[in-house]
Structure 1
Amino acid sequence: MLHTVQRGYPYWITLALAVVAAGFMVRIFILFHDCCHGSFFTSRRANTILGYVSGIVTFTPFEDWRYAHNLHHATAGDLDRRGVGAIRTMTKEEYLAAPTRKRLAYRIYRNPFVLFGPGAALLFLFFQRFSSKGAGKRERNSVVFTNLALLLVAGAATWTIGLQTYLLIQLPIIVIGGSLGLWLFYIQHQFENAYWARHESWDPMKVALEGSSYFKLPKILQWFSGNIGLHHIHHVRPSIPNYNLQQCYDEIPGFQAVKAITLRTSFRSLRLGLYDAKKQTMISFRSLAVLDAENKATAI
Structure 2
Amino acid sequence: MRAGLLAGLCGRVIALCVTMSLVAWIPPTSAQSFPSRPITLVVPFAAGGPTDTLARILSERMAADLHGTVVVENVAGASGSIAGARVARATPDGTTITIGHWGTHVLNGAIYKLPYDVIADFEPIALIASGPQLIVGKKALKADSLKDLVAWLKDNPNKATAGTAGAGSGAHVAAVFFKTKTGTEFQLVPYRGAGPAMIDLVAGQIDLIFDQATNSLPQVKNGAIKAYAVTSPTRLASAPEIPTVDEAGVPGLYISYWHGIWAPKNTPKEIGDRLNAAVVAALADPGVRQRFAELGQEISPKERQSPAALAAHQKAETEKWWPIVKAADIKAE
Find the structure with the greater CA-based Rg: 2
Tell me whether the two structures share a fold, i.e. TM-score over 0.5.
no
Give the structure with the higher percent strand: 2
TM-score by length of 1: 0.30
| Higher relative contact order, structure no. (Cα contacts within 8 Å, ≥ 6 residues apart) | 2
